[in-house]
Structure 1
Amino acid sequence: MGRHHADEVHDGGVHEHDRGLSYDLPVLARRRMIRLMAGASLVPLVGCTSQDGTPASSSASSAKGSASSSASPAECATIPDETAGPFPGDGSNGVNVLKESGVVRSDITSSFGDSAGGTAEGVPLTVTLTVVDAASGCGTPKKGAAVYIWHCDRAGDYSLYSEGVTDENWLRGVQEADGLGQVTFRSIFPGCYAGRWPHIHFEVYGSLADATAATSITSTSQLAFPKDVCDTVYATDGYDESVRNLSSLSLETDGIFSDGYGRQLAAMKGSAAEGYTATLTVPV
């Protein structure tokens, strides 16, 4: 289905998977130009983290609590804008999965449509993102907004692009935000590939219609995982490569999260045996 893209290795073993802003700048530049041409205004990105990069606000609270919490506009900043990486699957870099029937779903572990029909294996993960209005101080849920998320599989490969999984479209899906501004996806915990801290990509759209038309992106960002959870997950079967890759990385040195990750660090609950839940508030 997708454009064939071998899992190439360069520069001493660093994969071309999402190697950071400098590597992905052409893709990001094109995306931002599209937004400007569409008349969308770029909002100043203001972080709110402590010196060690840990959340300075209530990111550890539950998604529902975050949606209803009140904060002054000065305390609420938009989610940091990040590169979508080279494998977005949204039409900006080759294949476009957003226009395919079946992409609107909550369980993204399996492929859909005319793809190979496989299922990604790994530690179960439920992701809940709460989209809120930054201009109102993060107190107003963005009901009706839509979120597209995608991430690599347990082996660190991206469906539609990586060698061996170009016919799969697993670990990709769209959801419409409910009255609390929430979207929830059932997935698996992503692996850690060389050069990048474990993460999930996501795009926020103004509506489900915009998302499935792959137009008018409101925000593009990434969710980060805490190290202790990564260590626990990667000690389980199937994540052997992730153990080695994670040992040479940190949130402070990652090419995306090194400038501050407090607003992107997921709050986690659960266990490797029973599965994890990850929650994050996404002000836009």
Structure 2
Amino acid sequence: MNPPPRWFGHRQLPRPEEDLEDQGLSFDVGTLIERRKVLAGMGVGTLAFALAACSPTGTQGSPSPSTAAEIPDETAGPYPGDGSNGPDVLEQSGIVRSDIRSSFGTSTTTAEGIEMTLELKIVDMANNNQPFEGVAVYVWHCDRSGEYSMYSSGLENENYLRGVQVADAEGQVRYTSIFPACYAGRWPHIHFEVYPDTGSITDHTTAIATSQVALPQETCTAVYATTGYEQSVKNLQGVSLDSDNVFGDDSGATQLATVTGDTSAGYTVRLTVNVDTNTEATGGGAPGGGGAPGGGGAPGGMPTGRPPALPDGQQPGTAPTASAPAGS
């Protein structure tokens, strides 16, 4: 016998037998949108981003252009967690969140590191460069040790440093996180996927853009001089934007973020992401031949870098084996 219907406000719960926090991604996103509409009616959203723009002076990268070329499509790397190679955080209730520092669900582990606020402004190039309101943006990156939740050894049951936000009327999404490490063979970076709407976020093949944010060297040098990032100092010395197998084509011309702040107060990382839905998305997916964590191998050659350890028996870019630990 089916359980009787339950309601949250005017909305019927899709899983009446479950608690409110276990209603699934679509319900979470719908709740987020309704709350945003209420705030917009009060004028809160515009004020919040106006205040965010008035951040302290700090380390700067190249200016993030509002009218520039389309963001390059890049590989999602071996650790996307979007279901393309096994683990799928996008099916989990709770993934729609702005603070991504902690795991959710079966764990509450918090990733430690220098605080970082990530702000992406998504632009709809096919619509006269208007703000791309309503797109869902999935962000993920490594921790300060260069490891990825859901994949690296000992982190198979963690899902920190992963989250989804829905772009507001200004095309903005905002996340609270930590500054990622630099691991061997890759320039410090943040991954993201842009989906056309909230209904498509659970199908990785529907992403309209898959790319990466490059972090400025001056900021990285300052962060990596702090406790916990020691290994990143040596790794950063062994790579450059020009030699990186993702950003090397143009030194990250449209992917290099603007950064303000310091190691005490934390940093704000900003990038304008120009998306053209008239062009075919070619990024995404884990590289079939392995490669550096989060970056994949250089086209036509052997991959570089030392990937974080995966569960026993699993290779980068492949689905977990039957013996892989639960949650990987």
Which of 195, 198, 211 is the matching residue for 2:201?
211
1:131-166 deviations in Å (ceiling 9; x for gaps):
11123453x000000100000000000000001111
Aligned position for 1:132: 123
- Please list every run of at least 4 consecutive aligned residues from structure 1 whose deviation after the TM superposition is greater than 4 angstroms: none
Matches within 5 A, 1:97-136: 97-114=89-106, 116-136=107-127
Give, in whole Å, the separation in 2 of the partners of 1:208 and 1:122.
Answer: 30
Distance in 2 (alpha carbons) for counterparts of 1:213 and 1:197: 28
Question: 2 CA distance for matches of 1:213 and 1:101?
Answer: 15
Equivalent residues in 2 for 1:11-30, closer than 5 Å: none
The one-letter amino acid paired with 1:219 is A
Q: Distance in 2 between matches of 1:236 and 1:104?
A: 30
One-letter code of the match for 1:88?
P
Letter in 2 for 1:121: E
Q: Given the alignment of the two structures, is residue 146 of structure 1 paired with residue 151 of structure 2, yes or no? A: no
| Deviating more after overlay: 210-219 vs 122-131 | 210-219
What does the per-residue CA deviation read over 1:107-142, in whole Å, with 9 as the maximum and x for residues that have no partner? 00000012x32000000000010111123453x000
Identity value in percent: 56
1:158-197 Cα deviation digits (max 9, x unpaired):
0000011111100000000000000000000000111100
Could you tell me the TM-score, scaled by structure 2's length?
0.63
Q: 2:236 aligns with which of 224, 238, 246?
A: 246
Alignment of 1:35-114 (within 5 A): 58-59=63-64, 66=66, 71=67, 76-114=68-106
- In the alignment, the residues of structure 2 paired with residue 151 and residue 126 of structure 1 have an alpha-carbon distance, to the nearest angstrom, of 13
1:159 to 141, 149, 158: 149
SS in structure 1 of the partner of residue 64 of structure 2: coil
SS of the residue aligned with 2:200?
helix
Hey, what does 1:19 align to over in structure 2?
none
Q: TM-score, normalised by structure 1?
A: 0.73
* Structure 2 residue 276 is matched with structure 1 residue 276: no
Structure number with greater Rg is: 2
| CA distance, structure 2, for counterparts of residue 101 and residue 236 of structure 1 | 34
Matched residue, 1:202: 192
Quote the offset at 1:217 in angstroms.
Answer: 0.5
| Alpha-carbon RMSD | 1.4
- 1:214 Cα shift? 4.0
Contact 1:175 1:208 in 2 (8 A): no
Q: Which runs of 5+ in 1 are unaligned?
A: 1-53, 61-65
